[in-house]
Amino acid sequence: MDASHITSELTRVLYTNDQVQARLAEIAGEIDAEYADSDLLLVGVLNGAVMVMADLSRHLTSHVQMDWMAISSYGSGTQSSGVVRILKDLNTDIEGRHVLVVEDIIDTGLTLAYLMQNLQSRKPASLEIMTMFRKPEAIKSPVDVKYVGFDLPNEFVVGYGLDYAGRYRNLTDVGTLAPHVYS
């Protein structure tokens, strides 16, 4: 579904699917160069990173393995609660592995800071972050992000994995959700 199907539910489109795919191709090139001689494990953070992880992996020219974690801090609200729970842990032992955490968005950074601390305790050879979107104005807990797709304004944004109450993840464009939808 693209933004033309839900124009009354968005105030504006920030990035089209073409822009997102072009940026992912650029990032994939950087990752391929950085990890050319490494056994890279991509760790996707469910549910939002499904779209990013799928498309990023298709843009890569090197072999990678994938695993998934599910972390919760939002519920169905529009603000991070700051309380983090691991709902699904990795199936892969990451000790001595090169790990790239793939996120859809970094908002406050609270959830990701917790996740990175948790993963670092498992002794990977390297641990880096790739996020498709970041909200610099919303960051409360700074995290070092190696690859960033786009910076977003501090607005409620949906599409390309980003949701409101489980909806809009399949929107191929990224846009600001109209306040009448969530108020």
CATH classification at residue 132: 3.40.50.2020
Q: How far apart are CA 50 and CA 125, in angstroms?
A: 24
Stretch (H or E) spanning 112: helix 110-120
Q: Is residue 97 part of a domain?
A: yes
Instruction: Give the chain's domain count.
Output: 1
Q: What angle do CA 30, 65, 144 make, to 5 degrees?
A: 45
Inform me whether the pLDDT recorded for 173 exceeds 80. Answer: yes
The predicted structure's pLDDT at residue 134: 96
Closest CA to 10 of 132, 180, 183, 153: 180
Q: Is residue 10 part of a domain?
A: no
Q: Is residue 175 part of a domain?
A: no
Inform me whether the pLDDT recorded for 80 exceeds 60. Answer: no
The pLDDT of 44-48, averaged and rounded, is: 93
Q: Is residue 172 part of a domain?
A: no
Q: Is residue 62 part of a domain?
A: yes
CB neighbours of residue 96 within 10 Å:
11
Domain that holds residue 126: 17-153
The model's confidence at residue 166, banded by pLDDT at 50, 70 and 90, is: very high
- Quote the mean pLDDT of the chain: 93
CA-CA-CA-CA torsion sign (112, 117, 118, 121): positive
Inform me whether the pLDDT recorded for 168 exceeds 70. Answer: yes
Annotated catalytic sites, by residue? 107
Q: Is residue 149 part of a domain?
A: yes
What's the predicted TM-score (pTM) here?
Answer: 0.92
Q: Is residue 181 part of a domain?
A: no
Q: Is residue 49 part of a domain?
A: yes
Is-contact 164 156, C-beta < 8 A? yes
Q: How far apart are CA 143 and CA 52, in angstroms?
A: 19
The pLDDT of 159-167, averaged and rounded, is: 95
- pLDDT tens digits, 2-24: 999 999 999 999 999 999 999 99
Q: How far apart are CA 23 and CA 38, in angstroms?
A: 23
Return the higher-pLDDT residue of 32 and 139.
Answer: 32
The predicted structure's pLDDT at residue 33: 97
- pLDDT tens digits, 118-151: 999 999 999 999 999 999 998 898 899 999 999 9
